[in-house]
Amino acid sequence: MEIIVLKNTPYKEKDAIIDALTSEGARSFLVRGLLSPKSSNIVLSNPLVIADVEIAEGKYKHPVIKKSQVIHSPYHLDDNLRFYSVTQLIGEITLNLLQEEERGSIYEDLKRAIIALKDQPSITSSILLIYFMRVIKQAGYSFEAQHCVNCMSKKDIVTFSFSDGGFICKNCLTEGITSRLSKDAMLSIRKAIIASDYKEIVELSDGALKELLNELKTFVFDYLGVKITSIDLFS
d(CA 6, CA 87): 9
202 lies in which domain range?
81-143+161-234
Q: pTM for this one?
A: 0.93
Tell me what pLDDT residue 102 has. 85
Please indicate, yes or no, whether residues 52 and 168 belong to a single structural domain of this protein.
Answer: no
Number of H helices, E strands in the chain: 6, 7
Rounded Cα distance between 76 and 83, Å, is 10
94 plus 174 within the same structural domain: yes
pLDDT for residue 138: 94
Q: Which of 72, 96, 118 is the last residue of a domain?
A: 72
User: Do 138 and 227 fall into the same domain?
Assistant: yes
Task: Answer yes or no: do 92 and 131 share one domain.
Answer: yes
Question: What's the Cα-to-Cα distance from 200 to each of 126, 131, 186, rounded to whole Å?
Answer: 8, 12, 16
Domain tally for the chain?
2
Q: Which of 148, 133, 152, 149 is nearest to 204 (CA)?
A: 133
In a domain, 155, yes or no: no
Do 7 and 92 meet the contact criterion of CB atoms below 8 Å apart? yes
115, 194: one domain: yes
Neighbours of 150 (CB within 10 A): 18
Q: Tell me which of 32, 52, 72 is where a domain ends.
A: 72
Sites in the chain below the pLDDT cut of 70: none
136 and 66: one domain? Answer: no
